[in-house]
Structure 1
Amino acid sequence: MELGIVSTLIAGLLLGIKHSFEPDHVIAVSIIASKSKSLFRSLLAGVCWGLGHSFVLLMVGLLAIVLKFQIPPKIESGFEIAVGIMLVYLGGSSLFAMNRRSGYLSLDKVNNMIYAKSIAIGGIHGLAGSAALTILVLSTVDDAAVGALYILVFGAGTIIGMACFTTALALPIVLGRTRLNIGKALEFTTALVSLCFGGYYLYCHV
């Protein structure tokens, strides 16, 4: 493999890690991770987000590389609006669930729903951010196989970054749950931030 291709793939991995820490990504996944009671569940939620994100990026990226397809600005703007709506929904529904003890417990017990939500959230973020990524890929590589490999490496970076973040987020919850009600405080904070940031995100893209 040529040195130029290797350097491009390394850059893709690092950019993927950096990409996972964008504010809208972090805020959305924080709500899911704050409901987890173990480091493993939080890590898995981050991995599921990365898988959903990577799958969508791969599909859109392959279309862009093979068919020279680019997302029209209006559709791209629509995806960004969807992210804002999702953030508002996640924040509002989480706050509502906290006022209903039974709803809060059901979210915590049904782990499959948490993971499914993480995958769906990652997929929506993948759609919203796919245009910038595909432009970057098309500007650096000409070969479809290399382009697909770049997207896979980029996706691996997002999985690594988000898994590290969700694990770090759950650490104080797991270590401090016997002394302080850190879990509920963190869930309330992330929900409120998601609601406010989602509203601001919508304001910026509508």
Structure 2
Amino acid sequence: MEHLFAILGVGFLLGIKHALEPDHVVAVSTIVGENKSPWRSGFLGVFWGIGHTLTLLVIFLILFLSQTSIPGAWEKSFELGVGFMLIYLGFSSFLPKKNKARKSGKAVRNQLLFKSMLIGQIHGLAGSAAMTLLVVSTVDSLQGALIYIGTFGTGTVLGMLLFTLVLSLPFLFTVNKQRINMLLTRGTAILSICYGIYYIYVIGFSNGLFI
């Protein structure tokens, strides 16, 4: 029993650490600035974690039941999708927000929550192969695997919740300073584009997908 708790504790801490990986942080940063409340920003982190965990769970079950694994080329292709997503998120921050202005505040918030969950799902898909190997090497039963993924997922939700709460503060403090607020928003967008290009280069060339 103590061994099980130790494994779950490690899974929880790994989940928090996983949530704060650079590509996750950069992606969520592009949409946090669209909220005026730290708590609403925190919900973005929670929904990212939910989307990420559900995808890991579904992919693991498919692989477990079919007794197969994700081919290396597929794994790299999923990761490549993260790079393209980062570029898209960055460029979308520069697009006019006229259509959003016509919507109710509730509709905009729901759209952002859905967007955050979708980002989490894409990240979950990209990390599903590595997560499957980790689970298989850590626990030896389906029940244990599901508990481990759930614990890991709880860690990712908490980690991203705390990160989005902290990240929202600069945007909150500059909400009445339009120029500074815009610089923060544009800065995160440019960072997302640059990191996306770098990510694609690493996956495509350094990791050999395009070679």
Tell me, yes or no, if structure 1 residue 140 matches structure 2 residue 132: no
**Which residue of 2 is the match for residue 37 of structure 1?**
36
Alpha-carbon distance in structure 2 between the residues aligned to 1:184 and 1:82: 28
**Which residue of 2 is the match for residue 188 of structure 1?**
186
Deviation at residue 68 of structure 1 after TM alignment:
3.0
Question: For residues 105-124 of structure 1, what are the structure 2 equivalents within 5 Å?
Answer: 105=101, 109=105, 110-124=108-122
Tell me, yes or no, if structure 1 residue 156 matches structure 2 residue 154: yes
**Which residue of 2 is the match for residue 170 of structure 1?**
168
**Which residue of 2 is the match for residue 52 of structure 1?**
51
Alpha-carbon distance in structure 1 between the residues aligned to 2:109 and 2:157: 19
Question: 3-state DSSP class of the match of 2:93?
Answer: helix
| CA shift in 2, pair 1:107/1:147, >3 Å | farther
CA contact (8 A) 1:35 1:183 kept: no
Alpha-carbon distance in structure 2 between the residues aligned to 1:107 and 1:93: 18
**RMSD, aligned CA:** 1.8
Question: 3-state DSSP class of the match of 2:68?
Answer: coil
Deviation at residue 82 of structure 1 after TM alignment:
0.7
Q: Which amino acid counterpart does residue 102 of structure 1 have in structure 2?
A: K
Question: 3-state DSSP class of the match of 1:71?
Answer: coil
Question: 3-state DSSP class of the match of 1:54?
Answer: helix
Deviation at residue 108 of structure 1 after TM alignment:
9.3
**Which residue of 2 is the match for residue 78 of structure 1?**
77
Consecutive unaligned residues in structure 2, runs of 5 or more: 205-211
Question: 3-state DSSP class of the match of 1:82?
Answer: helix
| CA shift in 2, pair 1:23/1:45, >3 Å | same
CA contact (8 A) 1:35 1:108 kept: no
| Percent identity over paired residues | 44
| CA shift in 2, pair 1:91/1:103, >3 Å | farther
Alpha-carbon distance in structure 1 between the residues aligned to 2:66 and 2:56: 15
Once the two structures are superposed, residues 142-198 of structure 1 have per-residue CA deviations (whole angstroms, 9 ceiling, x without a partner) of 110010000011001000000100110111222332356443222111100001110
Q: Which amino acid counterpart does residue 148 of structure 1 have in structure 2?
A: L
Once the two structures are superposed, residues 51-84 of structure 1 have per-residue CA deviations (whole angstroms, 9 ceiling, x without a partner) of 0000001111223344433111011111011111
Question: 3-state DSSP class of the match of 1:164?
Answer: helix
| CA shift in 2, pair 1:140/1:28, >3 Å | same
**Which residue of 1 is the match for residue 98 of structure 2?**
102
Once the two structures are superposed, residues 71-118 of structure 1 have per-residue CA deviations (whole angstroms, 9 ceiling, x without a partner) of 1101111101111110111101112x2xx3525646994111101100
TM-score, structure 2 as length reference: 0.90
Q: How many residues align structurally?
A: 202
Alpha-carbon distance in structure 2 between the residues aligned to 1:182 and 1:40: 21
Alpha-carbon distance in structure 2 between the residues aligned to 1:107 and 1:90: 20
**Which residue of 1 is the match for residue 17 of structure 2?**
18
| CA shift in 2, pair 1:39/1:144, >3 Å | same
